[in-house]
Chains A and B, each alone.
Chain A
């Protein structure tokens, strides 16, 4: 996949991008949550 020989390396390539998307989505969903925690 993606011209990469080993499925385990392709998986690492894809999971790196998926993890980044997870960070972005989590951040925007919870953008205004958590300030009641205010110390």
Chain B
């Protein structure tokens, strides 16, 4: 067994090294072909549709989606498929068919090289460009940290190193690569990485459905497991892994619905339309035809990524309930005797050979919902003169993942998939992380270099130096986030949703208004961005319990509460997007109506003849 393990380690290392060499070669190829600012910033505006589609998809989908949101699906179930639907319908179809064309046209007309520059030039405002560039520079590290944590959690499991060592290795590999080239190199490597991701996830989907008994039988088995939902999750509205959480407004039994629908589904599903690093991709093609040709690849790619990750995450419960290592314990509650569903108090033998209860970190008895095996009792435990048979049962994913939802996918891959797939999946996640991180830091670097430094100083000679310093600072911040917040509950999904939601609230009304409404004014764009940004940050600091509680400001203001609206219906779990985006849109409309419309000359410059 040890020989096999060490052989796999050699193969793992060889695969990673070969993969990195190919990535470095493609990055160098792109670097060699990068001659102008347009090459560095928008890949020379001549990207091939297949490369553009894979680059868009690989940038969009990261370890956050696969490990973070896949793990959330393992915990909350298939209700996350609404996010897959929005990812494909909004993130690909609406984005490419309705947003991509106007973005590409206006980007070319105004010779914009970055997303903030597009907004700034459309409204003839230096402030907008600086504000958007600064926002990206400050908040992108949060999203990058989500990607780093997702990659590191699997990387560390697969290589058998601890989390901090994994984080360091993973960060150094990706930072070196990110600093190398501009968008041309990034897009070449994205296409390779997108291909690897597609193959890895396709194998995972087929293998999983075969392993758990086929499409409909596995779904039915998962449906029948509903009574095994842990009581803490049932109390906030979890009704099973193939059901939506309980819908309503008021009591804590509706909290999960508001978390899943407003933060996880809408936060990311709508926020995708105003992602700076994705909107930039539309400016890299030379005509609408390339966008049309990119749509099929984009749609299939996203289905193969999030559709597979969320379905496999949920179905991992079936695998563990059928094939997981049996847990040993005494029944403390029978849920359904006919089906063998029960809650076990986990036990182990002490040094004298007697059965003793296992306790968790808080000193409470460790319990697990299980399906009991048909095997005979292993022994007897006597408590208060009562005899309890010691039995075995198989539990659900989150129990096997040690209570950490974000370990569900790594644990599933390690336990359920063959050894060779561990290497394929390692490359899949490495690809997913690197393709997203490179674009995040490309956006962050150009945000601080071109959008902030150049606009404020008026100098153009040191931009690339500022870009690279910005990337290094951003990387250090992202690593610190990853180091300090890795243990926080479902942090990957939350951090991603915060960034996507912020982009939606601060940028979307200005972006869409700029593309489609000639009447929108500079004052309206500035007001909308500031209001969207302010409401988002205030909501996170003062209302959203998980974030406000962790940040600590609201506790000082309210003597220990985790939200200003604690106890007021479901407000503490409602996402900031639900409040910030409508207000931001309303401000854009109202201010436009009361301010001077832009000049005809300026509109002609932005929109041309049509």
In angstroms, how far is the closest chain A Cβ from the Cβ of B262? 16
Contact with B along A17-39 (1 / 0, CB 8 A): 10111111011101111111111
A37 to B289 alpha-carbon distance, docked (Å): 8
Write out the residue numbers on chain A whose beta carbons fall within 8 Å of the beta carbon of B216.
2-3
**Chain A: minimal CB distance from B307 (Å):** 5
Q: Are B93 and A23 within 8 A (Cβ)?
A: yes
* Cβ-closest chain A residue relative to B81: A12
Distance in angstroms from A2 CB to nearest chain B CB is: 6
Q: Are A23 and B300 in contact (CB under 8 A)?
A: yes
A-facing residues in B73-99 (Cβ within 8 Å): 77-79, 81-82, 84-85, 88-89, 92-93, 97
Q: Are B299 and A19 in contact (CB under 8 A)?
A: yes
State whether B84 touches A6 (Cβ < 8 A). no
Contact of A5 among B101, B108, B218, B240 (CB under 8 A): B240
Residues on B with C-beta less than 8 A from A30 are 289, 292, 295
Across the interface, do B303 and A37 meet the contact criterion of CB distance under 8 Å? no
Pair B299/A5 contact, Cβ less than 8 Å: no
Chain A contacts of B292 at CB under 8 A? 26-27, 30-31, 33-34
Once the chains bind, are A20 and B78 in contact (CB under 8 Å)?
no
CB neighbours (8 Å) of B79 from chain A are: 6, 8-9, 12
Cβ contacts under 8 Å, A34 to chain B? 101, 287-292
Is B597 in the interface zone, CB < 8 Å from A?
no
For residue A6, which residues in chain B have a CB less than 8 angstroms away from its CB?
79, 239-240, 242-244
**Contact residue among A2, A4, A26, A33 (Cβ-Cβ distance under 8 Å from B93):** A26
Assess whether B244 is in contact with A23, with CB atoms less than 8 Å apart: no
Asked whether, in the complex, the Cβ of B295 is within 8 Å of the Cβ of A26, the reply is yes
Q: Does B105 contact A (CB under 8 A)?
A: yes
Known A9-B243, A34-B287; contact A16-B85, beta-carbon cutoff 8 A: yes
Size of the A side of the interface (Cβ < 8 Å), in residues, is 31
A23 x B105 contact (CB < 8 A):
no
Return chain B residues, CB-CB under 8 Å to A13: 78, 81
A22, B105: Cβ atoms closer than 8 Å:
no
Asked if B211 is at the interface (CB within 8 A of a chain A CB), the reply is no
Would you call B165 an interface residue if the criterion is a C-beta within 8 Å of the partner chain's C-beta atoms? no
Instruction: Tell me which residues across on chain A come within 8 A of B92, comparing CB atoms.
Output: 19, 23
Q: Is the CB of A37 within 8 A of B288?
A: yes
Q: Is B340 an interface residue (CB 8 A)?
A: no
Do B85 and A3 touch (CB < 8 A)?
no
Q: Which of B45, B222, B287, B300 contacts A35 (CB 8 A)?
A: B287
B7 close to chain A: CB less than 8 A: no
CB distance from A20 to the nearest CB of B (A): 4
Contact present for B295 and A19 (CB under 8 Å)? no
Alpha-carbon distance A8/B244, docked complex (angstroms):
7
In the bound assembly, the distance between CA atoms of A28 and B108 in angstroms comes to: 26
Q: Which residue of B lies closest to A28 (CB)?
A: B296
Q: Which residues of chain B (28-63) have a CB below 8 Å from chain A?
A: 45
Among B84, B222, B244, B292, the most chain A Cβ lie within 10 Å of the Cβ of: B292
- Cα distance A3–B88 when bound, in Å? 23
Chain B positions within 8 Å of A17 at CB level = 303
Taking the complex as formed, is B485 at the interface, i.e. its CB lies under 8 A from any CB of chain A?
Answer: no
Instruction: Let me know if B85 and A27 touch, CB within 8 A.
Output: no
In the complex, the answer to whether B220 meets A3 with C-beta atoms within 8 Å is yes
Contact assessment for A23 and B295 in the assembled complex, using a CB-CB cutoff below 8 Å: yes
A15 CA / B289 CA spacing, docked (Å): 26
Instruction: Say whether B303 contacts A16, CB under 8 Å.
Output: yes
The answer to whether A16 and B88 have CB atoms under 8 Å apart is yes
Inter-chain contact B81/A38, CB cutoff 8 Å: no
Would you call B237 an interface residue if the criterion is a C-beta within 8 Å of the partner chain's C-beta atoms? Answer: no
Is B293 located at the chain interface by the 8 A CB criterion? Answer: yes
**Within 8 Å of chain A (Cβ to Cβ): is B226?**
yes
Q: How far apart are A9's CB and chain B's nearest CB, in angstroms?
A: 5
B505-536 interface code vs A (CB 8 A; 1 in, 0 out): 00000000000000000000000000000000
Contact between A5 and B287 (Cβ–Cβ < 8 Å)? Answer: no
Q: Take A19-B88, A23-B92 as given contacts and tell me if A33 and B288 are in contact as well, using a CB distance cutoff of 8 Å.
A: yes
- The reply to whether the CB of B567 lies closer than 8 angstroms to some CB of chain A is no
Task: Given A16-B307, A37-B101, verify A3-B217 contact (CB < 8 Å).
Answer: yes
The residue in chain A whose Cβ has the minimal distance to the Cβ of B105 is A37
Least Cβ–Cβ distance between B282 and chain A, in angstroms? 13
Residues of A within 8 A of B220 (CB): 3
Is the pair A22, B293 in contact by a Cβ cutoff of 8 Å?
no
* Distance between Cα atoms of A30 and B290 in the complex (Å): 10
Provide the bound-state CA to CA distance between A16 and B216, in Å.
Answer: 17
Give chain A residues whose Cβ lies under 8 Å from the Cβ of B84: 12, 16
A24 CB, min distance to chain B CBs, angstroms: 4
| CB of B286 closer than 8 Å to a CB of A | yes
* Chain A CB within 8 A of B219 CB: yes
Complex Cα gap A2–B226 (Å): 16
In the assembled complex, how far is the CB of residue A7 from the closest CB belonging to chain B, in whole angstroms? 9
B215 at the A/B interface (Cβ < 8 Å)?
A: yes
Query: Judging by beta carbons under 8 Å apart, are B293 and A9 in contact?
Result: no
- List 9 A-B pairs, minimum CB-CB distance, nearest first: A23-B299, A3-B219, A34-B288, A3-B220, A27-B296, A12-B81, A34-B289, A6-B243, A27-B295
8 inter-chain pairs at a CB distance below 8 angstroms, sorted by A residue, are A3-B217, A3-B221, A9-B81, A16-B85, A22-B299, A34-B288, A35-B288, A37-B287
B residues sitting closer than 8 Å to A (CB atoms) are 45, 77-79, 81-82, 84-85, 88-89, 92-93, 97, 101, 105, 108, 215-223, 226, 239-240, 242-244, 286-300, 302-303, 307
Known: A16-B81, A37-B288. 15 other contacts (CB 8 A): A3-B217, A3-B242, A5-B226, A5-B239, A5-B242, A6-B243, A9-B79, A15-B85, A20-B88, A20-B299, A20-B302, A27-B292, A34-B287, A36-B287, A39-B286
